[in-house]
Amino acid sequence: MNNTATTNNDLLAPSKRLVKRYRAEKRFRRCGIAAITLSLAFVFFLFFTIFSDGISAFKQTWIELKVEFSNDLFANENLAAADYPGLVKRSLRTMFAEVKSRKDKKLLYGLVSPAAAYKLQDMVEADPKIIGTVQEVWVLADDDVDMLMKKKIDRTVPESNRRIRDIQLEWIDKLVAQGRLTTNFNRTFFTSGDSREPELAGIRGAIKGSFFTLLITLALSFPIGVAAAVYLEEFAPSNHWTDLIEININNLAAVPSIIFGLLGLAIFINFWGLPRSTPIVGGLVLTLMTLPTIIIAGRASLKSVPPSIREAALGVGASKVQTVLHHVLPLAMPGMLTGTIIGMAQALGETAPLLMIGMVAFIVDIPGTFSDPAAVLPVQIYLWADNPERAFTEKTSAAIMVLLAFLIVMNGLAVLLRKKFEIKW
């Protein structure tokens, strides 16, 4: 009797020990949730700052000039020799006839980007018939004007502390009132290479550089990595040599990437004599860096193929190679592809080894081949972050956004591939 009573009591009122256990469980769960919340908060903070800084870089300010392509400027046969900057200045002077002093004129000319002169030249060269006519032309505004329009320059601070003078503010307001100043989508950012002028700087060069570099990396590291993983996992005899190789591959995965850059500098550039700053060398260096990742991921996915499949194939008389090629490799492919794409994403975001092989140079031209000097996206970010102009801050953030977009796309692709090729049983 007594015994049953105590048992019932136990069920109704949990013992102290049990209460303590539940409390410990709850505490543990709360810690986990707190850790996740904290890391998510940091990620959101990162994304928020980057987005709020960078989103404005996708817009650009333009000014409409009334340009008179007067015949006297083009007296010379050679159209390229004409004084296009002078033409821009003249247009500005006619639009703001009240500006007289030399100092003020200089400020006035500062409203438009040096690119305005190139644009006029392009127009004339494309269609010489416009000589002698008056055209309304939209030209890029200077980056300071752009910053003002994006409210990144505060009008309320004293004139001496601001890059735009009061008199320039007046002109700008006048232009806005006339509808001669507008902001729209910044195509330049996606179509041009690097530049000293923020309003002219774009990431096309860096994107193409990254593309060529990654193409080399993929073309080399995927076949080499898969072949190495298959040999080590399926064919290599298990002895001290194999162990040594395995340890070294694992060590290579942990080697700081700048060391690979030094290796590339010593071997590919100094010894083989490949050109500096080029995607081909960058690709080779990044191949070295991604190979361990791909080999390790490849071996893991080969290991996860159930041995019963190998037995089944061997049991019907398939040779070792047939077993691997027909059955094991197809089943391991999703894992290998995932590893490769993650390795590629790592390579896409890598800066340090590329600094060593000269891919940190200021390169204006958009690379057309594997042996043209090029920058890559992360290096471009690094270079822009170093520039003093205010307008490069938003360019930096925008470039980071582009890089992140590529990374997200690549990781999404990895997930998709895994889902698609995964064979269920």
Partner 1 sequence: METATSALTPSFPVMIGNQAESVMEDSDAKETARNTVGTPFVDAPRMTCRNVDVFYDEKQAIRNVSIDVDQNEVLAMIGPSGCGKSTFLRCLNRMNDTVSSCRVTGSILLDGTDIYHPSVDVVPLRAKVGMVFQKPNPFPKSIYDNIAYGPRIHGLTQNRSELDEIVETSLKKAGLWKEVRDRLNDPGTSLSGGQQQRLCIARAIAISPEVILMDEPCSALDPIATAIVEELIAELRTQFSIVVVTHAMQQAARISQRTAYFHLGNLIEVGATEKIFTNPLHQLTEDYITGRFG
Cβ closer to partner 1: 100 or 424? 424
Sequence-distant (≥ 6) Cβ neighbours of residue 85 within 8 angstroms: 114, 117
Closest CA to 340 of 229, 261, 420: 229
Which residue stretches of 179-319 are H helix? Answer: 188-191, 204-230, 240-253, 257-264, 279-303, 307-315
To partner 1, the closest distance from the beta carbon of 344 in angstroms equals: 27
For the record, the structure tokens of 58 come out as 């996708």
Pick between residue 86 and residue 306 the one whose CB is nearest to partner 1: 306
For the chain, percent helix, then strand, then coil, each to nearest 5? 70, 5, 25
CB of 37 or CB of 322, closer to partner 1: 322
The residues in 254-313 that bind partner 1, with binding defined as CB under 8 A, are 306, 308-313
Choices 34-42, 131-139, 325-333, 344-352; region in contact with partner 1 by CB under 8 A? 325-333
Of 50 and 236, the one with the shorter C-beta distance to partner 1 is 236
- In degrees rounded to 5, what are phi and psi of residue 63? -120, 140
Residue with tokens 């994006």: 150
Provide the b/e sequence for 99-126 (b: ≥16 CB within 10 Å): beeeebeeebbbbbbbbbbbbbbebbee
Number of residues binding to partner 1, judged by CB under 8 A:
22
Which residue type is seen at 197?
E
CB 190 → partner 1: shortest distance, Å?
44
Query: Coil, helix or strand for 142?
Result: coil
Which listed residue (220, 252, 258, 318) binds partner 1 by CB under 8 A? Answer: 318
Q: Which of 117, 216, 331, 354 binds partner 1 (CB under 8 A)?
A: 331
Distance between CA atoms of residues 220 and 268, nearest Å? 15
Residue 334: CB minimum distance to partner 1, A: 12
Binding mask 216-255 for partner 1 (x = CB under 8 A): ---------------------xx-----------------
Residue 27 tokens, joined: 């505490």
Closest CB 242 distance from partner 1, rounded Å: 11
Whole-angstrom Cα distance, residue 236 to residue 358?
A: 39
Nearer to partner 1, 31 or 312 (CB): 312
Q: Which of 319, 365, 369, 415 binds partner 1 (CB under 8 A)?
A: 319
| Smallest gap from residue 319 Cβ to partner 1 (A) | 5
Q: Which of 326, 368, 369, 409 binds partner 1 (CB under 8 A)?
A: 326
Q: Which is nearer to partner 1, 21 or 320 (CB)?
A: 320
Tell me: does residue 317 bind partner 1 (CB under 8 A): yes
Radius of gyration of the CA atoms of the chain, in A = 31
Q: How many CA atoms lie within 13 A of 175 on its CB side?
A: 26
Binding residues (CB under 8 A) for partner 1: these are 237-238, 306, 308-319, 322, 326-327, 331, 423-425
